[in-house]
Amino acid sequence: MNITPLLLNFNINKTKSNNNVGTDYRLIKPNYRNQLTQDTVSFSARPDKIIKTGIYTVGDKLEFDYSKKKGATNTIIGNRFVAALKTLGIEGIVYDAEYNAGHLLKDEKTWRSKFSRSGAKPRDEIRQTLFMKDIKNFSLLNKLLEKLEKDFGYIIAPITEGKTTVADFDIRLNDVSQKEINKLPEYLRGLISHKQGSGYGDIQMRLLDTTDNTKTPIELIIVTGKHTADAKHNESYYVYNITRALQKELYITKGKSNSINSPIARISKYIETISTTLTDNISKRLYSIASDMDLYGEVESDLIIKPSLQEDQCVSLKNIMNEIISLTRKHYNAKKAELKAYIKDDARLEENFKASAAYKKRKDKKLYAEDLTEMKISVLEKIEDLEDYQAKDINLLKKLKVNLEESIEKYGQKAEAAEAVEAKPKKK
């Protein structure tokens, strides 16, 4: 009987590395990717590979690691990369120093979020963005890769997928022609997926500086232009961060349910509804407008379908979030009540112990007082776990409720949507 949400595995996953950087992995044949099943801000674009983990004393461990990573070493490495990008001199590729100024090192909030979702530290401590209007022109992309390596010593980092090592590189665009794909080096030709469901598309890669012994990975993202980059910040804040947390960070949804009417099943359905509503009405429209503005400049206002939520959608989203909170409390309270009743039922405890592997191996087949005591202690620990999960889930949902209300305030029918693309979200 599954009476608790799926317990986390308290281990830290360590990313495998290849010491022969820039040699072996380039010689293998392409490892063709499957289409993405969902959006992800983790630019490795492998949501199906993520293992759910956690770590004891996350705060202490993460702050310690972050303080080391944030130090002067990364700043020096990052500044050298910035200097290289500023002097690329490739027509059709733009480095916007002002845009990138605030995004050199990932902040502690980003580290914590990554860690809570996957149990792993971000591999890309340093991030920069290039604008390439003709983003499907892979001859231009080749020029960039060749110049980065030949003139500055940057190569695409390797990453291990299963038993295969491939380049940490991904083209997330739709309708890429085979003619353009053939222009890429062979070891990159299979590393193409698709635009995400939100409509966002990019080229992303992690680079290594061959002159840097620390092997610090540097993330480079390429998008069509500043409008898309700005839209990404808006979409991340007002949509993606909400839907990702609902889908990935709630303990309750890690549990199993055999009934379509159970709280877990209903919560999962409600989360799907929130995600679809926000993505269809905000994300896709944001990226569509941004892409057109990057490619064609100003767009006729009467041709723009602005990001917006109808009044009935706003009401529905608020009600759904309240219902998720209510069902979460209901689920945990019922499970705790079930366990509290079970711990008082010695007959059931005895019956379950006699069905256990430990009892079956016992030669004398006797039942001792300490057997029931140990079972009761185990049940009490599960009740404590449920208390902890409930508190964390409810706290997270309350925060997400506030975030959702901000999205409704900005994009609801009565909100001004004219600034939807360029206005950046307020910082907290």
- The full set of domain ranges for the chain reads 10-224, 233-411
Question: How far is residue 115's CA from residue 127's CA, in Å, rounded to a whole number?
Answer: 18
Q: Point out the least confidently predicted range of 16-20, 91-95, 134-138, 325-329.
A: 16-20
What percentage of the chain reaches a pLDDT higher than 90?
Answer: 52
What pLDDT score was predicted for residue 421? 45
What pLDDT score was predicted for residue 101? 85
pLDDT band at 357 (very low <50, low <70, confident <90, very high): confident
Q: Which residues pair with 219 in a beta bridge?
A: 127, 206
Q: Read out DSSP for 79-90?
A: HHHHHHHHT---
What pLDDT score was predicted for residue 58? 54
The pTM of the full predicted model, rounded to 2 decimals, is 0.75
Nearest to 385 by CA among 242, 215, 251, 219: 251
In this prediction, residues 21-49 reach a mean pLDDT of: 44
Question: How far is residue 40's CA from residue 42's CA, in Å, rounded to a whole number?
Answer: 5
Instruction: Work out the number of other CB atoms within 10 angstroms of the CB of residue 223.
Output: 24
Q: Which residues pair with 171 in a beta bridge?
A: 192, 203
What DSSP designation does 93 have?
Answer: -
Cβ–Cβ < 8 Å for 310, 252: no
Q: What is the enclosing helix (H) or strand (E) of 155? A: strand 154-156
Q: Point out the least confidently predicted range of 43-52, 195-204, 274-283.
A: 43-52
Question: How far is residue 131's CA from residue 346's CA, in Å, rounded to a whole number?
Answer: 68
Q: Rounded to the nearest 5°, which phi and psi values hold at 171? A: -105, 115
pLDDT for residue 75 is more than 90 = no
CA dihedral of 247, 249, 255, 260, whole degrees rounded to 10: -30
pLDDT band at 57 (very low <50, low <70, confident <90, very high): low
First to last CA, the chain: 43
Question: How far is residue 94's CA from residue 198's CA, in Å, rounded to a whole number?
Answer: 25
Cβ–Cβ < 8 Å for 367, 353: yes
Let me know how long the chain is: 428
Question: How far is residue 203's CA from residue 385's CA, in Å, rounded to a whole number?
Answer: 42
Q: Highest mean pLDDT range out of 33-47, 119-133, 252-266?
A: 252-266
pLDDT band at 5 (very low <50, low <70, confident <90, very high): very low
pLDDT for residue 4 is more than 70 = no
pLDDT for residue 52 is more than 90 = no
pLDDT band at 20 (very low <50, low <70, confident <90, very high): very low
Q: Rounded to the nearest 5°, which phi and psi values hold at 248? A: -115, -25
Kindly tell me the burial class for residue 209, based on how many C-beta atoms sit within 10 Å of its own C-beta (0-12, 13-18, 19 or more): buried
Tracing tokens 């991904």 back to the chain, one arrives at 170
What pLDDT score was predicted for residue 145? 96
In this prediction, residues 307-328 reach a mean pLDDT of: 96
Question: How far is residue 134's CA from residue 151's CA, in Å, rounded to a whole number?
Answer: 23
Structure confidence by residue, pLDDT tens digits, 129-185: 999 999 999 999 999 999 999 999 999 999 887 888 899 999 999 889 999 999 999
Q: Who's near 191: CB < 8 A, 6+ residues apart? A: 30, 31, 33, 166, 167, 169, 170, 171
Nearest to 214 by CA among 152, 148, 157: 157
Question: How far is residue 256's CA from residue 272's CA, in Å, rounded to a whole number?
Answer: 17
Cβ–Cβ < 8 Å for 387, 336: yes
**Residue 244: which region, alpha, beta or left (left: phi > 0; alpha: psi -120 to 50)?**
alpha
Q: Who's near 215: CB < 8 A, 6+ residues apart? A: 17, 21, 208
Structure confidence by residue, pLDDT tens digits, 102-127: 766 655 555 555 555 555 555 557 88
pLDDT for residue 388 is more than 80 = yes
Q: Point out the least confidently predicted range of 28-32, 40-44, 230-234.
A: 40-44
What pLDDT score was predicted for residue 206? 94
pLDDT band at 365 (very low <50, low <70, confident <90, very high): confident
Pairing mode of beta strands 53-54, 9-10: parallel
Q: Point out the least confidently predicted range of 45-59, 158-172, 251-265.
A: 45-59
